[in-house]
């Protein structure tokens, strides 16, 4: 069955007919984020429509799998609509809380989806894009992929389930990615555990042809092993994409500098000490870039992020999303988010006035405050996430 329909997702007619596209190709639903000029960033309306489409696909026995992809060749999804959230926060409009709650429910649904979800991470995949993809059964990158969780750069914390999906990685890798906001290429993402396969972008451009030619008998939920093998042949069996790939060489350094036992201050000091004696140019470059990233990110959010990631390693998925919403609420209303977005994305002076300004000034009682919930247990917007999600 081949069907195609545009799904209304926004106020204007043109946006309503373009932001999320949905079609079914040979029993596989193909969902396209279609805001290429905005790098397919998620609006609240898009999140709601994506949830509705997932419910439809979950309940339709003729749909055996779901593909998530981005329009254009630059991005799968660069994140959420941060400028809109910034403007609402400035205007004391608390509707942004519902944005995060609905986004987290959507991400939770993907983690728990009863049918295979394939995420095609061709191009920029950051923030909200990572939330959509990390719960997928098959995560496919290309030579154009750039994966990252750069939230500390704008005074936020890695969210959208990051405290859960990063917990599946070695602790050093998890803390490095969360604190530094480092970008991984397609092959690097596979090495780090953020993707399952890396293929040339040209391979993905022709996936529908391979899907159409796959016998329907091989796309049957009643025979999951055959279904999974068939989907891997369609999406993940292309030749290995070739890009620069330094991760294997850097993993020992990552593990040495980012153990769970080190505070953020300890990590920075460790990086600086190694810079004084390191002779390998690749590791020297990595040490310098990592130290500079930590030095430029919000000191408070670095500390909160470290604690959030470590706590997530011991919490179930639903609890991770609830805790992340708690922290985001504090970040937007009491923390560095507004200032971070102003400096990085609005005025672009890249001189955020972080509060506090240095790691030495961070009060650990304030860190614990940011990790506490502003809601009582029964009033939490995600109290029922395990029972009620798209």
The Cα 38–Cα 21 span in angstroms is 16
CA atoms within 13 A on the CB side of 284: 6
Distance CA 300, CA 319 (A): 22
What residues have CB less than 8 Å from 343, skipping those under 6 apart?
349, 350, 351, 352, 353
Average pLDDT (136-140) is 98
Which residue spans within the chain are E strands per DSSP? 2-7, 20-25, 28-33, 65-70, 75-77, 117-121, 124-126, 138-141, 146-148, 197-198
Bridge partner list, 139: 119
- Beta-carbon contacts of residue 258 (< 8 Å; ≥ 6 apart): 171, 172, 173, 175, 176, 179, 267
325 token code pair? 């919403």
Number of Cα atoms under 13 Å in the Cβ half of residue 233: 15
In this model, does residue 1 exceed pLDDT 70?
Answer: no
Q: Return the closest-CA partner of residue 107 out of 304, 377, 320.
A: 320
Give yes or no for a cis peptide into 356 (omega within 30° of 0): yes
In whole numbers, what is the pLDDT of the chain averaged over residues? 93
Assign 28 to helix, strand or coil: strand
Nearest to 146 by CA among 159, 127, 165: 127
In this prediction, residue 7 carries a pLDDT of 33
C-alpha to C-alpha distances, 68 to 131, 263, 281, nearest whole angstrom: 12, 37, 39
Residue 244 pLDDT class (50, 70, 90 cuts): low
Look at residue 284 and give its three-state secondary structure.
helix
Taking 70 as the threshold, does the pLDDT of residue 315 lie above it? yes
pLDDT bin (cut points 50, 70, 90) of residue 304 is very high
Structure confidence by residue, pLDDT tens digits, 179-197: 999 999 999 999 999 999 9
Does the pLDDT at position 9 exceed 50?
Answer: no
- Interstrand relation of 124-126 and 75-77 (parallel, antiparallel or unpaired): parallel
CB 338 within 8 A of CB 86: yes
**What is the pLDDT at residue 243?**
62
In 3D space, the residue among 94, 147, 115, 98 whose CA is nearest the CA of residue 28 turns out to be 115
User: Per-residue pLDDT for 17 more than 60?
Assistant: no
- pLDDT of the residue at 388: 81
Mean pLDDT over residues 24-32, rounded? 98
Closest to 236 (Cα-Cα) out of 212, 213, 210, 215? 210
Which residue from 334, 320, 325 is spatially nearest to 367, judged by alpha carbons? 334
**What are the residue numbers of the active site?**
80, 128, 151, 159
Q: What is the pLDDT of residue 228?
A: 98
The CATH topology of domain 1-390 is 2-enoyl-CoA Hydratase; Chain A, domain 1 (3.90.226)
Tell me what percent of the residues of the chain surpass a pLDDT of 70: 94
Of the candidates 186, 228, 235, which has an alpha carbon nearest to the alpha carbon of residue 206? 235
Q: Torsion angle, CA of 321/99/181/166, rounded to 10 degrees?
A: 20
* Domain limits, the chain: 1-390
Cβ distance 161 to 134 under 8 Å? yes
Sign of CA dihedral 141, 144, 149, 151: negative
What is the per-residue pLDDT for 18? Answer: 76
C-alpha neighbours within 13 Å on the C-beta side of residue 178: 34
Give 312: exposed, middle or buried? Use CB within 10 Å, 0-12, 13-18, 19+: buried
Q: How far is residue 215's CA from residue 253's CA, in Å, rounded to a whole number?
A: 47
Q: Kindly tell me if the per-residue pLDDT of 389 is higher than 80.
A: no
262-277 residue pLDDT tens: 999 999 999 999 999 9
CA dihedral of 213, 217, 218, 224, whole degrees rounded to 10:
150
Instruction: Summarize pLDDT for 52-67 with one digit per residue, the tens.
Output: 999 999 999 999 999 9
């Amino acid at each position: 069955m081949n069907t195609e329909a545009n799904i209304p997702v926004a106020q204007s007619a043109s946006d309503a007919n373009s932001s999320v596209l949905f079609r079914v190709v040979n029993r596989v639903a193909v969902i396209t984020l279609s805001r290429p000029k905005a790098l397919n960033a998620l609006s609240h309306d898009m999140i709601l429509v994506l949830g509705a489409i997932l419910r439809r696909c979950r309940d339709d026995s003729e749909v055996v799998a779901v593909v998530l992809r981005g329009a254009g060749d630059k991005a799968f999804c660069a994140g959420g609509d941060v400028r809109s959230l910034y403007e609402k926060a400035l205007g004391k409009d608390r509707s942004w809380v519902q944005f995060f709650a609905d986004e987290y429910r959507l991400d939770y649904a993907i983690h728990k989806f009863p049918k295979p979800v394939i995420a095609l991470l061709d191009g920029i995949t950051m923030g909200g894009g990572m939330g959509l993809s990390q719960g997928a059964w098959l995560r496919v990158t290309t030579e154009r992929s750039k994966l990252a969780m750069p939230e500390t750069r704008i005074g936020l914390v890695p969210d959208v389930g990051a405290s859960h999906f990063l917990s599946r990685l070695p602790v050093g890798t998890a803390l490095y990615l969360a604190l530094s906001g480092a970008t991984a290429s397609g092959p690097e993402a596979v090495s780090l555990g953020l993707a399952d396969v890396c293929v040339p972008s040209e391979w993905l451009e022709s996936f529908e042809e391979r899907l159409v030619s796959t016998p329907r008998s091989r796309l049957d939920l009643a025979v999951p092993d055959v279904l999974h093998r068939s989907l891997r042949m369609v999406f993940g069996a292309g030749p290995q994409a070739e890009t620069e790939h330094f991760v294997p060489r850097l993993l020992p350094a990552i593990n040495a500098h980012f153990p769970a036992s080190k505070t953020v201050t300890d990590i920075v000091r460790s990086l600086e000490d190694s810079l004084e004696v390191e002779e390998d140019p690749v590791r020297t470059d990595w040490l310098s870039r990592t130290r500079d990233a930590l030095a430029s990110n919000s000191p408070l959010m670095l500390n909160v992020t470290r604690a959030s990631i470590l706590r997530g390693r011991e919490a179930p998925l639903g609890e991770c999303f609830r805790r992340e919403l708690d922290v985001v609420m504090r970040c937007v209303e009491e923390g560095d988010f507004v200032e971070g977005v102003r400096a990085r994305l609005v005025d672009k002076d890249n001189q955020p006035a972080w509060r506090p300004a240095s790691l030495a000034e961070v009060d650990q009682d304030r860190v614990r405050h940011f990790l506490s919930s502003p809601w009582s247990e029964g009033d939490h917007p995600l109290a029922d996430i395990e029972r009620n999600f798209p």
